[in-house]
Copies of this chain bind each other. A is one copy, B any other.
Amino acid sequence: MKGAYSFFESASKAIRQNPTLSKLLVLTTVSSGGALAYADYNPFQGLITVSSGNNEGPKKKVVVLGTGWASTSFLKNLKSSSYDVQIVSPRNYFAFTPLLPSVTNGTVEARSIVEPIRNIVRKKRYNVDFKEAECYRIDPVNKKVFCRSIRPGNSGGPEEFTVDYDVLVMGMGAKVNTFNTPGVEEHAHFLKEVDDAQKLRRSIIDCYERANIPTVSEEERKRMMHFVVVGGGPTGVEYAAELHDLAFDDLSKLYPAVKDYLKITLLEAGDHILNMFDKRITEYAIEKFQRDGIDVKTGSMVTKLSDKDILTKDRKSGETISIPYGLVLWSTGVATRPVVRDFMNQIGQANRRVLATDEWLRVEGCNDVYALGDCATINQRKVMEDIASIFSKADKDNTGTLDLKEFKQVVSHICERYPQVELYLEKKKLKSFDTLLKNAQEDDKKQIDIETFKKALSEVDSQMKSLPATAQVAAQQGEYLAKCFNRMEQCEKNPEGPLRFRGEGRHRFHPFRYKHFGQFAPLGGEKTALQRPGDRVSIGTDIQWLWYSVYASKLVSWRTRMLVVSDWGRRFIFGRDSSKI
């Protein structure tokens, strides 16, 4: 007995503590082929050093708000040991949100897509501590954030405390946008948090079970089995598709008495579903949904939600109809959180819809505060606003005209500082800035005056685009900011950014530039659409497999990666579970 125990204990210890042994070869052979995951996992290397901020040496106190895509990506990429990091978030884990629709349908387990934030930061070189609390006020003057614990403390009420910062990183995301539609908060389901997905899942099974009760009237049964998705964006469309698959692949076999009552409706206020995607994808999706029997209604605005009926107004005819429903998923984009709104009022951004940062993710109107992810947008500088400064900066010899040599020296700085210039060139199919200037010149002079310069650039600002509120953007911003923080001292001394056109010298860092890798739109039935940059569109089952592999590779840890892959295997073999837990 002793022998067996010793073996187990040492094996277990060895695997958990030895970095070499812990390179586990986890081979999961599922019937359809194999998925090989080489797990270089070493959870116990290094120890957390928790500090309350009073370390020796002049470490900067960085407070990070939130544990979503932006904050987690920042924390993962922060490598410098010269920071004391305090994380404040009501959620003690990071959730891989693109898989939330899969969680609602039991394709993926909730636990498989989350990773405790403490696990993510424990191997880091910086000092770090996490507080499970909500930030309810930011004081940018005294550099403090006010927090309250999400559970009652000593007094019975929430525990309140403040945290000082030298640098604040806001990554608390956004709330669901209800457009103040009455009844939505009370009656609709959302799909932003892991909790939401689990609730949604239980509610679907609930509707099936309730419809199966013998005394329920026909009409009521129809109502209960009517599932409505509001919002034709990628989340809404994916959810409608996944719901259809769940219902037809799995539930119809378990609930034969009620399966014919099922109806899925997708409501979209605009003219198209998936309107940020190429027309080909939209058309394919609509056609597929028609075949599947999912009712897509575009131009249909929801005006009210009662506990059993959804009131919609047709945007063209103005006609109002009331549709009985069993479950509504509300998925219509994001809005600013109250704490961010309050902060905006304090720093003079009261009139803006969303918190604005500059291209270096610094919040406009205050110092040492960065904002990334869904809680902010980048307020791009217009070329036309700065046109005089740009010209005079370029015109080194102050002649009032630019010659080619002078121009060559600033062109790369202009392109970097104002990304819309390149987008404009691309759109107009012009090879370079030179061509743009040449086209603006009436004769073939070598010198360019300010009027010509203005004329040439007059339309470039039309190409300014704000970034979508996606995980991809947030993750890139987090990584960008962490890399800036890692090289802060170095870049203070040797700035590497573009010329400051309105000031002196150069910017410390290159500005943030989003690199779009494409976007998936899962359409159900093992089919997914993908739009890559340059309007390249692919749809089909091979894209579904690409989706599987991209998502598997993007998952935050080897643990979640293995769990999700094995969840997919489970679903493939056993179907989806319908227990109401």
A404 interface residue (CB < 8 Å to B): no
Bound: A205/B52 CA distance, A: 21
Asked whether B153 lies within 8 Å of A215 as measured between CB atoms, the reply is yes
In this complex, the member of A5, A27, A92, A160 whose beta carbon has the largest number of chain B beta carbons within 10 angstroms is: A92
A-B contact pairs, 29 of them (CB 8 A): A4-B545, A5-B527, A8-B32, A8-B526, A12-B32, A21-B31, A39-B573, A50-B256, A50-B257, A92-B205, A92-B580, A93-B580, A114-B579, A119-B254, A129-B257, A130-B212, A132-B210, A151-B206, A151-B209, A151-B210, A153-B213, A154-B217, A154-B220, A161-B215, A198-B581, A559-B570, A559-B574, A566-B566, A566-B570
Contact residues, A94-111 vs B (CB, 8 A): 106, 109-111
In this complex, the member of A119, A161, A580, A581 whose beta carbon has the largest number of chain B beta carbons within 10 angstroms is: A581
A389 interface residue (CB < 8 Å to B): no
In this complex, the member of A160, A194, A563 whose beta carbon has the largest number of chain B beta carbons within 10 angstroms is: A563
Asked whether A159 lies within 8 Å of B109 as measured between CB atoms, the reply is no
Whole-angstrom distance between the Cβ of A190 and the nearest chain B Cβ: 16
Asked whether A541 lies within 8 Å of B149 as measured between CB atoms, the reply is no
Whole-angstrom distance between the Cβ of A327 and the nearest chain B Cβ: 12
- The residue on B at minimum CB distance from A23 is B31
Contact residue among B43, B118, B209 (Cβ-Cβ distance under 8 Å from A574): B43
A92 and B209 contact, Cβ closer than 8 Å, known pairs A116-B577, A578-B118? yes
Number of copies: 2
Interface string of A561-581 (1 = CB under 8 A from B): 011001000101111011111
Bound: A194/B110 CA distance, A: 15
Asked whether B43 lies within 8 Å of A93 as measured between CB atoms, the reply is no
**Interface on chain A toward B: helix, strand, loop, or mixed SS?**
mixed
Contact residues, A10-49 vs B (CB, 8 A): 11-12, 15-16, 21, 24-32, 39, 41, 43-44, 47-48
A515 interface residue (CB < 8 Å to B): no
Bound: A111/B110 CA distance, A: 10
A446 interface residue (CB < 8 Å to B): no
Asked whether A213 lies within 8 Å of B31 as measured between CB atoms, the reply is no
A438 interface residue (CB < 8 Å to B): no
Chain B residues with CB below 8 A from A256, complex form: 47-48, 50
Contact residue among B52, B213, B562, B577 (Cβ-Cβ distance under 8 Å from A111): B577
A5 and B540 contact, Cβ closer than 8 Å, known pairs A24-B573, A215-B153? yes
A131 interface residue (CB < 8 Å to B): yes
- The residue on B at minimum CB distance from A32 is B11
Interface string of A147-168 (1 = CB under 8 A from B): 0010101100001110000000
Chain B residues with CB below 8 A from A151, complex form: 206, 209-210
Interface string of A217-231 (1 = CB under 8 A from B): 100100000000000
Asked whether A579 lies within 8 Å of B27 as measured between CB atoms, the reply is no
Asked whether A154 lies within 8 Å of B216 as measured between CB atoms, the reply is yes
Whole-angstrom distance between the Cβ of A72 and the nearest chain B Cβ: 13
A58 interface residue (CB < 8 Å to B): no
Bound: A32/B257 CA distance, A: 47
A1 interface residue (CB < 8 Å to B): yes
Whole-angstrom distance between the Cβ of A486 and the nearest chain B Cβ: 25
